[in-house]
Structure 1
């Protein structure tokens, strides 16, 4: 029974991305560990753990909400990205 935890900064993934990530990681574990057995799916645990930006550092810099929004786009109250990242 695999348990996978994905740690990320809160605000980087929107609801659709989280759903896709959970599905794809589950699919991969069914393919690899479950050897393609569809019944193995019910034994796969995948969790996305989000931490506040202040709990992270990248190159000694804290990724503020503003930096995240300007890089990845803002996330609306519905959990979906409302502004695409700027090129």
Structure 2
């Protein structure tokens, strides 16, 4: 029974991206570990763990919500990414 945790910075993935990521990682585990057996799907756990930008560093730089919004756009209250103008 596989358990997969995906760690990411909060604000990068919107609700649709999370759903797609969860589905595709599950599909991959069914294909590889479950050898294509569709019954294996019910044994696959996938979790997305989001942490605040201040908890991360890349090359010594801590991303801010403003940097993330500038790169990826903001996420609305409905969990959907707001298109950048």
Q: After TM superposition, is the score higher than 0.5?
A: yes
- Give the drift of 1:8: 0.1
Deviations 1:10-62 (A, max 9, x none): 00000000000000000000000000000000000000000000000011111
Tell me the matched-pair count: 85
- Give the drift of 1:83: 1.9
Q: Unpaired segments of 5 or more residues in structure 2?
A: none
> Pairwise CA RMSD of aligned residues?
1.0
SS at match of 2:83: coil
Please report the TM-score for the alignment, with normalisation by the length of structure 2.
Answer: 0.97
Please report the TM-score for the alignment, with normalisation by the length of structure 1.
Answer: 0.95
Within 5 A, what are the aligned runs for 1:1-87? Answer: 1-84=1-84
Q: Unpaired segments of 5 or more residues in structure 1?
A: none
Which consecutive aligned stretches of 4+ in structure 1 deviate over 3 angstroms post-superposition?
none
